[in-house]
Structure 1
Amino acid sequence: MSAPAKPLSNKPLSKQRLRLWLRMLSAHRGIEMHLREQLRLSHDSTLPRFDVMSALDRYRDGLRMSDLSARLKVSNGNVTGIVERLASEGLVERVAVDGDRRAMCVRLTPAGIDRFADMARNHETWVNDRLSAFTEDELITLITLLDRIGEIHE
């Protein structure tokens, strides 16, 4: 059983909110660093490649490059380089968009679907291991609170 939580302090709420933000960043960085290392060691891959493949796995018919960039919240240039490397490995294919000569649609190939499925299984295991100290009730509480943070300025 964990030790009782220490009182945050009698500091102003603004300081406590800043402390929360820094703790969230630290927790995120720690998990992200672990995931990056595991993807590198287990799949000779990177987190950005995983993110691109994940987005394409959710949209099996493919996405325009601009839509893929928007969903990942990165520049077209970043996505283009990743897609080119994935295409050279036979994991994605680019197809022209009907009626728009300039636009390209990207989708996973059957090999890409299989490769991503393996990566996704491992990814879920790694995240599960990192967060295994939390009970189901604690997870529900954390998810609820983080959802509220996300809704504040939508």
Structure 2
Amino acid sequence: MEAETDVDVCAKWSETLRVYHNTSCELENELQSRHDLGRSEFEVLLILSRECGAAAGGKAKMKDIEAEMYLSQSALSRTVTRLEKAGLVTRAACDFDRRANFLMLTPAGLERFEAAKPTHRAVLVKHLVDTTASQPAAACSR
């Protein structure tokens, strides 16, 4: 197999950035307009739904969520605060480690997440599966 040239590698990198930007912007716009959720808020709900499942009382450590996210600790905290104010998650202190906090998905949070899942999936399929769809860059708005 022949080594790729710098131009080929740079072109692949540029294409990756274009796909990421277009997908990310459309996710943000669609989730916000249809479900009143930002992309990061959806990702937190996604992680919580996976960690906690549909079972009531399931909880996940903030540190574990942070490890899966692309956000800084402070940005994650702000995201969780927005979700908490909306009644979609609750925070709880850890009984045995005062430094740790748990997050729990509320029934309203699970309902909002389940409603938003098809929108999230449709945008991902559009940008990541259908290679014939070349969409112009959409402006990210909040």
Pick aligned residue for 1:65 from 57, 62, 66: 62
Distance apart, 1:87 and its partner CA: 1.1
Residue 32 of structure 1: aligned partner: 24
Whichever residue aligns with residue 73 of structure 1, its letter is Y
Query: What is the TM-score normalised by the length of structure 2?
Result: 0.79
Residue 146 of structure 1: aligned partner: none
1:55 aligns with 2:47: yes
Distance in 2, matches of 1:48 and 1:63, equals 17
Residue 136 of structure 2: aligned partner: none
Query: What is the TM-score normalised by the length of structure 1?
Result: 0.73
Distance apart, 1:125 and its partner CA: 2.0
Structure 1 gaps of 5+ residues are 1-11, 136-154
Whichever residue aligns with residue 126 of structure 1, its letter is V
| Identity level (%) | 30
Provide the alpha-carbon RMSD of the alignment. Answer: 1.8
Residue 140 of structure 1: aligned partner: none
Distance in 2, matches of 1:133 and 1:85, equals 33
* SS at structure 1 position matched to 2:67: helix
Which 4+ residue blocks in structure 1 deviate beyond 4 angstroms?
none
* SS at structure 2 position matched to 1:100: coil
Distance apart, 1:98 and its partner CA: 2.4
| Higher relative contact order (CA closer than 8 Å, sequence separation 6+) | 2
Instruction: Give CA-to-partner distance per residue, 1:4-38, whole Å, 9 cap, x none.
Output: xxxxxxxx612211111111111111111111111
